[in-house]
Structure 1
Amino acid sequence: MRRLARAAMVAAPILALGATGASADQFVRMVSGPSGGSWYPLGAKIMQVMQDNIDGVAASNTSGGGIANVKAVGGGDAEIGWTYAHTAANGYEGKGKFDKAVKDIAYFATLYPSTFQVAVPSDSKIMSFEDMKDANISPGKTGWTGTAFAESILQAYGFNFNDIKNNGGTVHYVDYTESVALMKDGHIDVFMAATSMPQASFIELNHSPGLRFIGVPEPKLTEIIKANPGYIRGAITPAAYEGVEQDIPTLGIVTSMIVSKDLPDDLVYQMMTIFWDNHAAFAEVKKTWNDVTLENALNGASVPVHPGAARYYEEKGVRPAS
């Protein structure tokens, strides 16, 4: 009830999908991702479908990032959020980028794998992460999981964001759209993002000025994965981007959705039904949604599953991978 009252006070100015406070019994606010990524447009469509099909619900979608979204849902500033399985686990346990445990979250669904992608202009002299110690980089906004990914990799190479600045480089904590503009104008040397593949921002930059992707070689991959439970191996593939001739090894993560544990069980059950019944509509927004499957919806579940979601999955015979 605390969250519902809080939502009623703040939702009016952020409603983006047409419902009014007068007609809504429950506000469901989603925090997704940046406008240039996959999370935001998918989130907007999901919230539209939820609002159109669940009586008494007014829905909204706003931008965010994996770490910040866990804090937003756990803190009562949103009811549903996009994140990653390992990020949700860190939040629940108060580890990593979380200075305290975030216990008011529950699992909703495992979605699709994301890939950590790092690119430089095709004519850049930067050939590896070792060459970024004094570079101008854009790793994402503070609170984004991709930014934490970047920190993990740089730490494995013996330096961090502060070292880059002290060496004369710059760190731009900006979104994908701003990163594209900065690289086109020659103001950054490196663009990093943890997102689906292919990703529109990298496609645009690959067209002009042209890109070259930087991989994470063995044994660094093993070292980083061992130090960061939840990270997995990934690859930037020739099928994703023109000019990539062979798989480029990198890191991967599993995209997930969490909800407030205080959402009513019946509402979450309804949300689950609408969510899975409209799979085709979401795939029309982003092809990566074709990788989202009901049978894998609990794979990697890293925090307690919401009772409303658990009821739905039990009825469908969905269980975590053994």
Structure 2
Amino acid sequence: MPDKAARGVLLAILVAVWLTGCGGEGQRTLSIATGNTNGLYYPLGGGLASIWSRHVDGVNMKAETTAGSVTNLIQVAKGESEVGFTQADALAAALAGAGRFPEPMPLTSIGKLYPNVVHLVTLRSTGIESVQDLRGRRVSVGPPGSGNAVTAWNVLEAMGIGESDFTVRQLNYAQMSNGLKDGTLDAGFIAGGVGMPAVVEIAVSREMVLVPFTDDEIATIVRAEPAYSRFDMPPGVYRGVDEPVLTPTLWNLLVVSRSMDEGLAYDLTRTMLERRGDLENISSVASFITPASARDVGDFPIHPGARRYYDEVLGGEVPGSGGR
């Protein structure tokens, strides 16, 4: 090959490699930490990744499967992921340096999403009718590193139930479903939005029961964990659940690092809210994601870029702007 032609080929290869690495001028490949494929974090995260990649200049966002909230918070704090889904209780622990977090994490929110409902799932054949009936049984709290496990233990400890009171299983949703079906598990906690696919699947194939909480039990949980509130699961969401079921709930949020560029945080927040109709095509829980609801993060810190967007569309002081 002539030297001139060789130089031309080499230049073309170098340009192609540069474009691939950059994804175009200023293009950055970022990631959003979600959850396992049987929950709602993953499909919603995939939807957000697609929206941001198409509508935020210079961003190529990818959704990644994870164990859930605890893992997501750690990854975002370490810079291994740029955005992460989390439950409010896990975020509170991360900011305080409590529980699974040995020190406070440098995290902030860009918005509140939708309520996470505590599904305490069993089968009619187990005879479990209350939370206290879990004593002496085989119960899944969720996989290690998940917000599901954080929630399950928060609820159980508030009820005075500890590890020694039952046989602890740490299963993901698919494993929990299989355990209920084959009789190797008596009950399990699934924390997620209304219409959780994993719960739908169990209800379709077995005579499923959502274990109800009492008013006093909800009050006890809220006193112990103020991030929680009461929720009446409406009838008809799951096969066989024909009456409202009282259960605890808490909210999910999107978190980023405190060091995220303000302009990027602004663009992510703005695009998520402007294109939220696309997310409703994935799950009805996305109907909760409105500008007013998203900015209502309570005492949690909110990123300055997100705060700027909410100021523009809503005006007034943004809750959480002072930090925790």
TM-score (norm 1): 0.86
Which residue of 1 is the match for residue 240 of structure 2? 243
1:277 aligns with 2:274: yes
Which residue of 1 is the match for residue 36 of structure 2? 34
Q: Is the 8 A contact 1:128 1:214 kept in 2?
A: yes
Structure 1 pair 320/308, CA: closer, same or farther in 2 (3 Å)? closer
Q: 2:207 aligns with which of 205, 210, 219?
A: 210
Measure how far apart 1:160 and its partner are: 1.8
Which residue of 1 is the match for residue 83 of structure 2? 80
Which residue of 2 is the match for residue 135 of structure 1? 137
Q: Is the 8 A contact 1:136 1:190 kept in 2?
A: yes
**Greater Cα shift, 111-120 or 183-192:** 183-192
Structure 1 pair 157/199, CA: closer, same or farther in 2 (3 Å)? same
Measure how far apart 1:231 and its partner are: 1.1
Q: 2:254 aligns with which of 257, 260, 267?
A: 257
Q: Is the 8 A contact 1:86 1:302 kept in 2?
A: no
Measure how far apart 1:20 and its partner are: 4.6
Which residue of 1 is the match for residue 292 of structure 2? 295
Matched position secondary structure for 2:125: coil
Q: Partners in 2 of 1:118 and 1:255 — Cα distance?
A: 18
Q: Is the 8 A contact 1:41 1:285 kept in 2?
A: yes
Matched position secondary structure for 1:77: coil
Measure how far apart 1:258 and its partner are: 0.8
% same residue? 24
Q: State the AA in 2 paired with 1:290.
A: S
Which residue of 1 is the match for residue 220 of structure 2? 223
Q: 1:194 aligns with which of 171, 191, 194?
A: 191
Which residue of 2 is the match for residue 23 of structure 1? 23
Q: Is the 8 A contact 2:129 2:212 kept in 1?
A: no
TM-score (norm 2): 0.85
Q: Is the 8 A contact 1:267 1:308 kept in 2?
A: yes
Q: State the AA in 2 paired with 1:153.
A: V
Moved over 6 A (4+): none
Q: Partners in 1 of 2:149 and 2:199 — Cα distance?
A: 16
Q: Partners in 2 of 1:20 and 1:193 — Cα distance?
A: 40
Q: 2:148 aligns with which of 146, 149, 166?
A: 146
Q: State the AA in 1 paired with 2:81.
A: A
Q: 1:106 aligns with which of 88, 94, 108?
A: 108
Q: Partners in 2 of 1:190 and 1:21 — Cα distance?
A: 47
Q: After superposition, give the CA deviation of every residue in 1:149-176 in whole Å (9 maximum; x if it has no partner).
A: 2212322343323442xxxx3x332221
Q: Alpha carbon RMSD of aligned pairs, Å?
A: 2.0
Which residue of 2 is the match for residue 59 of structure 1? 61
Q: Partners in 2 of 1:57 and 1:20 — Cα distance?
A: 14
Q: Is the 8 A contact 2:121 2:190 kept in 1?
A: no
- Alignment length (residue pairs): 298
Matched position secondary structure for 2:122: strand
